[in-house]
Structure 1
């Protein structure tokens, strides 16, 4: 087991925040985002934005707040986000203490009658909270990454559906129909995943990742999360930490270290070379593949990409996942900050 509790904290330079603020201000003032003239929805991380877009279809306008490729745990919304939040009818956040600064800003700027919905907190009973490498119980923050598990993503979509139906009953049937399409696609993803993961030699469904984003997925699908490697900042791990990781990887006979395409690490690559483990640096947990508007730029595209990467990396054959049609008829016109 990886016992060192290391974290990566993304600090966002002021210039980047100002650029993001300009984008957020533009999406709050423009009428081009989305085709709906009804509900105004604000979301946080891209997977939630994607699921919300799939359920809302063209009946609402959706603005994401957290730029893709940003560490959502440390993201501080710029002041311009206040205007976007003040125009929202509904703000969907993951909850489970993932986006506290954004939630606090929303609470301060909500217009009368608007509501904040903490989706993850709603669907996950406290008795099912998982505390682990990056989210120790003594810190009081459970692992919030439910959306990497399709069974929870379906529950997310159901919460979004019910919220939209309550807020906009005139379009209730559209929301229900869109939810059913998403549910069907997510179940097809689930079935393909279960079939393809059985092709991993020896049944060694083990993950050593850059970020502790797969705890609930692992519990549902019978995987083992060996550990998570996360430097506290952009500094390299200390020689002592590197030596400990090498020993642990050798002891567990880990064949692949799954790194991040967002946070590349020369040290992790070197650890891979020192242990004989292959370093796969393209896994992602909330940065959608492709560009906004493309089919792969979706929750379905994200999870299919990760599952294929994981199964192939461990020597399995992800044929059913690769053959899966993930297209949804309703265009996704949500605004995704880049």
Structure 2
């Protein structure tokens, strides 16, 4: 899943302009009493995670058109006319990159506008895990970068700098809100690590609907035993032989829980659980946030909910994971 060179170039241009001389000019303008525009910055964000991050950093300074809605699958999404219209008037487009939302390039092209484009691709985050070498979304890196909060810290900084570049008069407010959100992301990371430290390493064995949690697993010392769809894309289809092999592996490894994902049909995960005696009543948020009011309605809530579900599944319900202040 190679990232489009134009997107990388645009993202780098945004980052450089946000932290060089223009950044200092923004501070000077703000110090001199420069007022912010009465009209919020028009931003198009492709994924639910990015929409949430932009809103947290931008606050009242942004008007976000979020293309993907909760529990929708980014791998097979087809943009709507409303998305093209929003992109036409956008000052900034924020993409997840690495072909997870590859359809956005066509949206921007059809819109005919000239927004700054920021791609938060794994190449531009500090922690990466390998991607797939074949299949419909073959790539050098796994595109599910947000499951390591340290990558989200980098994304927050990039979004902050892009917004400051778009609206220099709001530089101080944008940095202040970004700093507040970064503190919560760091608290999330520390809290999840503390929760898993209480679970013996030999019990941290993960089986999910598709292969979306490698970043999370690497960060918190979890062993990925397998996935119902053995691919980082949901477009792949498991064969009967692959399902049978996974079921045997679940039994051999003593896996206590198989985790369905909120945006995918749980039928196969439920079937493997019934066949092996594992439980399948803990759902994870993999590719998308949950709807408003759910346990995964923000990025912070999403990852706490994932940690809580995994800890409960790994320990047979004996423990959970709660993190204060999110």
- One fold, TM greater than 0.5? yes
Q: 1:261 to 1:217 in 2, by over 3 A?
A: closer
Q: What aligned pairs does 1:118-129 form with structure 2 within 5 A after superposition? A: 118-121=119-122, 123-124=124-125, 128-129=128-129
Q: More displaced, 88-97 or 264-273? A: 264-273
Q: 1:40 to 1:219 in 2, by over 3 A?
A: same
Q: More displaced, 140-149 or 298-307? A: 140-149
Paired positions, count: 285
Shift of residue 267, structure 1, vs aligned partner: 3.2
Q: Which residue is 2:165 aligned to?
A: 166
Q: 1:242 to 1:140 in 2, by over 3 A?
A: closer
Q: Secondary structure at the match of 1:57?
A: helix
2:94 alignment partner, one of 92, 95, 114: 92
Q: Which residue is 1:254 aligned to?
A: 255
Question: Residues 87-133 of structure 1, C-alpha deviation per residue, up to 9 Å, x if partnerless?
Answer: 10000000011111122211332423x211101245237x94512xx
Shift of residue 203, structure 1, vs aligned partner: 4.3
Q: Which residue is 1:21 aligned to?
A: none
| 1-structure distance, mates of 2:219, 2:225 | 16
Shift of residue 277, structure 1, vs aligned partner: 1.4
Q: Secondary structure at the match of 2:42?
A: strand
Q: Which residue is 1:140 aligned to?
A: 138
Q: TM-score, normalised by structure 1?
A: 0.76
Shift of residue 247, structure 1, vs aligned partner: 1.4
8 Å CA contact retained: 1:36, 1:58: no
Q: More displaced, 232-241 or 156-165? A: 232-241
Does 1:63 find its partner at 2:51?
no
8 Å CA contact retained: 2:289, 2:299: yes
Q: 1:290 to 1:82 in 2, by over 3 A?
A: closer
Question: Residues 116-157 of structure 1, C-alpha deviation per residue, up to 9 Å, x if partnerless?
Answer: 1101245237x94512xxx33575323111111111111110
Q: 1:248 to 1:191 in 2, by over 3 A?
A: same
8 Å CA contact retained: 2:212, 2:287: no
Unaligned runs of 5+ in 1: 1-34, 327-338
Question: Residues 177-225 of structure 1, C-alpha deviation per residue, up to 9 Å, x if partnerless?
Answer: 0111111101111111111101214543221111222112222222222
| 1-structure distance, mates of 2:109, 2:237 | 37
Q: What aligned pairs does 1:233-312 form with structure 2 within 5 A after superposition? A: 239-291=240-292, 297-312=297-312
Q: More displaced, 90-99 or 295-304? A: 295-304
Shift of residue 280, structure 1, vs aligned partner: 3.1
Does 1:78 find its partner at 2:55?
no
Q: 1:115 to 1:186 in 2, by over 3 A?
A: same
Q: Secondary structure at the match of 2:103?
A: helix
Does 1:101 find its partner at 2:100?
no
Q: Which residue is 2:178 aligned to?
A: 179
Q: 1:177 to 1:223 in 2, by over 3 A?
A: same
Q: Which residue is 1:47 aligned to?
A: 49
Q: Which residue is 1:117 aligned to?
A: 118
Structure showing greater relative contact order (alpha-carbon pairs closer than 8 Å, 6 or more residues apart)? 1
8 Å CA contact retained: 1:82, 1:106: yes
Q: 1:227 to 1:257 in 2, by over 3 A?
A: same
Unaligned runs of 5+ in 2: 1-36
Does 1:211 find its partner at 2:210?
yes
